[in-house]
A and B are shown apart, each in its own frame.
Chain A
Amino acid sequence: QQPVQSPQAVILREGEDAVINCSSSKALYSVHWYRQKHGEAPVFLMILLKGGEQKGHEKISASFNEKKQQSSLYLTASQLSYSGTYFCGTEAGANNLFFGTGTRLTVIP
């Protein structure tokens, strides 16, 4: 039930854009995105519900393609503070949240 994330790691220069993908083999009710910095707990970014919605949060936005059971996280004009590991979590309607293995994002000056 664990979603698959890609890429596993990405290195960006400040100002560049990145896309992180998350896919599931199960019909999803929602997709959650979190960012975790080294030594810290995961921090919530956003939730997307089935219905194919898209959400934005300053320069970080995400989409959810219900037909494909895929979600993508878009980071535009990356900043040094964006560095961390990004996790997608998927809910298939069973009161549990399964996380992908994470995408390590490094932003360099």
Chain B
Amino acid sequence: KAGVTQTPRYLIKTRGQQVTLSCSPISGHRSVSWYQQTPGQGLQFLFEYFSETQRNKGNFPGRFSGRQFSNSRSEMNVSTLELGDSALYLCGSSSGPYTDTRYFGPGTRLTVL
């Protein structure tokens, strides 16, 4: 089985711009979760989607949004980028919510200048 795919792997943007990151989960997995990883804050939960529905959201501003498509692929959008948004964004794939192993993709490294 192919693993979790995230595109792009690296991205450089400037403040005020917006960005869309993409995640393709493992085939057959219906749950996708997104995390922001920074040296200071560690891994922080953004949101989780299951069967196209956002089931929960972490403590991030409304500039961070996401969606999931019928094929389970997910996109995450960040509008009006700030310097503090520079981070590694990880996508986790699991077959279902609750007590399921999250398989992480390689991440998208976003740098905001």
Binding site for B on A (CB under 8 A): 2, 29-30, 32, 34, 40-44, 47, 49, 87, 89, 91, 93-102
The minimal Cβ–Cβ distance linking A21 to chain B, given in whole angstroms, is 16
A74 to chain B: closest CB distance in Å? 20
Report whether A97 and B103 are in contact in the complex, using a CB–CB cutoff of 8 Å. no
Set of chain B residues within 8 Å of A42, measured between Cβ atoms: 43, 90, 104
Question: Which of chain A's residues has its CB closest to B40's CB?
Answer: A101
Distance between Cα atoms of A2 and B45 in the complex (Å): 9
What is the size category of the interface that chain B forms with chain A? 20 to 34
Q: Which residue of A lies closest to B54 (CB)?
A: A95
Interface residues of B (CB under 8 A from A): 33, 35, 41-45, 48, 50, 55-56, 58, 90, 92, 97-107
B42 and A101 within 8 A (CB): yes
Q: Are B97 and A95 in contact (CB under 8 A)?
A: yes
Whether the Cβ atoms of A44 and B101 lie closer than 8 Å is yes
| Apart from A42-B90, A89-B102, 19 more pairs, CB < 8 Å | A2-B42, A2-B44, A32-B101, A34-B104, A41-B104, A42-B104, A44-B103, A91-B99, A95-B50, A95-B97, A96-B33, A96-B55, A96-B58, A97-B48, A98-B45, A99-B42, A99-B43, A100-B42, A101-B41
Report the tally of A-B residue pairs with Cβ distances under 8 A. 63
Which residues on the A side are within 8 Å of B90 (C-beta)? 41-42
Closest to A47 in B: B99
A95 to B104, CA, bound (A): 16
Does the CB pair B101–A41 fall under 8 Å? Answer: no
Q: Are A41 and B107 in contact (CB under 8 A)?
A: yes
Write out the residue numbers on chain B whose beta carbons fall within 8 Å of the beta carbon of A43: 104
Say whether B58 contacts A87, CB under 8 Å: no
> In whole angstroms, how far apart are the Cα atoms of A98 and B43 in the complex?
8
Q: Is the CB of B48 within 8 A of A96?
A: yes
Chain A residues near B44: list those with CB within 8 A.
2, 99
